[in-house]
With several copies, the nearest count.
Chain A
Amino acid sequence: MDFTLTPEQEALRAEVRAWLTANIPDEWVNQIVGRADVPRAEAYDFMRAWQRKLYDAGFIGLTWPKEYGGRGLTFMEELIVQEEMALAKAPPILNILGVGMAGPTIIAYGTEAQKSRYVSKILSCEEIWCQGYSEPNAGSDLASLQMRAVKDGECWVISGQKVWTSLAHVADRMMLLARTDPDAKRHKGITYFLLDMHLPGVTVKPLKQLTGDAEFNEVFLDNVRVHESEVLGGVNNGWAVGLTTLMYERLALGFGLQVRLRIALDGVVDLARRMEKDGRVITKDRIMRQKIAQLWIETEALKYTGARGITKLLKGEMPGPEASSGKMIWVDTHQRMQELAMEIEGPYSQLTRGSDWAVEGGLWQYTFLRSRANSVEGGTTEIQKNIIGERVLGLPKD
């Protein structure tokens, strides 16, 4: 057990820290759009440019192969960069689904042509990706998806509907699961496509959320013709490829979410130092101190539990139980953190953006509401617990 860094790693830390200091716009940190966990529409242009800058500086995709725009480093270097981003309250990555899921999956399953075509543009944010898994009747129960793809010459003709598709309204590409063999049972007969969102027949309809934003979308495919070269990992092998994506998602979450959680926690502590309740500064209230300390501890636990998983990865082992729990810990901790922010604000929690009385411009009201989706997006908490119970603990299926 050793938390000390090599001289090269120390140098990387210094480099990224200096770069962030020089490059994060001061006003960014104080902007409501910037502190939110999830990119908000007002910030897309800024964030596109920001990710490009990160790419040019080499601070994104550190573990990806050099030939596809990465740096061929280990998760340790990735962790260092992520930690510095948290400390600097750096903006989140816009093309997060590309970087966290599409890229690693293409690197793992793609043909040479697919890798050359797609990977570096993911990092540079030239092409934004979204994920087409969920359907109206296939949310948690992904294997029941109904979108159909029928072979016609060199193309697959795809029709159906996806839902809860983040970023679809700005995305250039979609990781798409569709049923290519209607007779095969549930998990079988599904294929993973790299879909061009600009093809004829693709319609994106924003879905307004309880936050008032429309960050998710419905995506309708009406006889969209996709060339067979856009199949990833083989026909009818989509379930395996899709699970890989989800595995990378969890890994990416383990990294990224911890960083965002720390930023949120620091924000809560700042908030608590400034707000009063019954005439007493929140941080001087024994009850509130308990709640803040507990969140602090859980945020640290997520970090160290993540570090244990990364250590195994670095050793070439498969991550164990500690990896599966990352998402669950994050969801639970983050939602309670947001609830605590509301509690700290008290009656002010009712005032939102557009009022000069709104605390921090209504940032927390937005992030609080947005956090409700955490326990559903990327697999409900109930499903995560099933997965842990069945795959990690070996309990019988329901």
Chain B
Amino acid sequence: MNFGFSEEQELLRATARKFFENECPSTFVRARMEEPGGVTDEFWTKLAEQGWLGLVYPEEVGGTGLGFVDLVVLMEEMGRASMPGPFFSTVLLGGLTILEAGSTAQRKEWLARIASGQAKVALALTEPSARWDAAGVTATAREEGGGFVLSGTKLFVLDAHIAEAIVVAMRTRESGRPEDGVSLFLVPRDARGLEARLLPTMDQTRKLCEVKLGDVRVGKDALVGTKDGAWPAIDRVIQRATVALCAEMCGGAQKVLDMTTDYAKIRIAFGRPIGAYQGVKHKAADMLVEVENAKSLTYYAAWAVDENSPEAPLAVSMAKAYVSDAFRRAAGNGIQLHGGIGFTWEHDLHLYFKRAKGSEFTFGDATYHRERVAQLISL
């Protein structure tokens, strides 16, 4: 047994930390928050050059062929930097869906272009019902003239407005089990009848869209994976993306803890650094414990996902439940222990605080995942 990172992984961490310190300081993040795109071409190209856009894709489709344990290292550093942009949506949602469900041709065509930074692909899954399960997919695709006609509204779609194409999950058949009858379609963003509209969000580093499909016509070749049978692939994508999200959250939580500890060492009140008071010290200790546990569960989930372990769904739900609470609490305590300064726009804490809140409810909150844990341990 070895529950640690390899030398290569530690090197990746060091490289990534340095890279983001240079390329993604908070001035960069804040500039991107103000813009609709949330990323610069230059930055995106640099990510591609590092090999990070294809990190978990097989080498034959232009990827680096690494696993989720490697990805977790990178995502922690991205979370630490509160990195904006369509990495998550393109690499871990759109791209991963094509990897999991797509034909060899689709994979070849898209993944290489994603890995090289040429294409951005979004995934449109959730709808106004805000559900993460198969029952949430109600937008319909009906067969017509050898192709399909897509209608419905997708919501909370990450970066759809800047994607070249959007993979949309549609209901192609009504059946007793919601998991049956879901299909995936790859639709160009400029398809007639498709409208992707950017929505104002609390966490301005995350760009969420509404995607309206008004009788969008696509050919048979737009189908990603088998008709009616796409849910298992989507489920796997959600699972994997959740692990990546947890890692990003761990990185953010660790950064908040670091900022808070540093501040507690220098801020003086009543003649002593505030970190000397147990009211501050004990809260910081609690944060550390939770952050370390959060990491442990996330690392285990990444390993389980890489191994295709039957424990993977349980490991992922355990991680998301715990990490959701831990990041929220760390960010809240971070602001509290900073006093007034932590409440200002200028201070970076709010970037993490808002990221924590958004991530908490993405792919299901702690309550949702605790119930899943209960199911998976046959309670």
Contact = CB atoms under 8 A, between A and B. Distances in A.
Indicate if A touches B (C-beta under 8 A). yes
Interface in A292-308: 292-294, 296-298, 300-302, 304-305, 307-308
A304 B270 CA distance: 34
Nearest to B372: A293
B373 to A, nearest CB: 4
B279 A382 contact: yes
Contacts of A139: 269, 339-340
A343 B364 CA distance: 11
A394 interface: yes
Interface string B310-322: 0000000010011
A357 interface: yes
A300 to B, nearest CB: 6
B182 to A, nearest CB: 16
Contact of B131 (A278, A362, A394): A278
Nearest to B347: A210
Interface stretch (A20-28, A42-50, A321-329): A321-329
Contacts of B292: 305, 308, 321-322, 325
B156 A347 contact: yes
A287 interface: yes
What is the size category of the interface that chain B forms with chain A?
35 or more
B18 interface: no
Interface in B280-338: 280-282, 284-286, 288-289, 292-293, 295-297, 299-300, 302-303, 307, 318, 321-322, 328, 332, 335-336
A289 B370 contact: yes
A369 interface: yes
A300 B316 CA distance: 12
B4 A315 contact: yes
Contact of A308 (B4, B270, B343, B349): B4
A343 B365 contact: yes
A308 B296 contact: yes
B50 interface: no
A19 to B, nearest CB: 21
B193 to A, nearest CB: 20
Contact of A386 (B257, B281, B289, B303): B281
A333 B80 CA distance: 28
Interface stretch (A92-100, A108-116, A223-231, A348-356): A348-356
Interface residues of A, number: 97
Nearest to A290: B370
A397 B343 contact: no
A160 B321 CA distance: 48
Interface string B1-13: 1111110000000
B277 interface: yes
Contact of A395 (B69, B261, B295): B261
B374 A292 contact: yes
Contacts of B350: 210, 369
Interface in A261-299: 269, 272, 276-279, 283, 286-287, 289-290, 292-294, 296-298
A276 B136 CA distance: 12
A109 B62 CA distance: 57
A311 interface: yes
B278 A398 contact: yes
Given A304-B299, A352-B202, A372 B3 contact: no
Interface stretch (B105-113, B244-252, B353-361): B353-361
Contacts of A354: 200
A276 B296 CA distance: 33
A376 B365 contact: no
Contacts of B286: 385
B43 interface: no
A114 B285 CA distance: 38
A208 B346 contact: yes
Closest 5 CB pairs of A and B: A210-B350, A389-B281, A395-B275, A304-B296, A208-B345
Given A343-B367, A390-B281, 5 more contacts: A216-B340, A277-B130, A308-B292, A345-B361, A372-B332
5 contacts: A216-B343, A301-B322, A382-B277, A385-B278, A392-B288
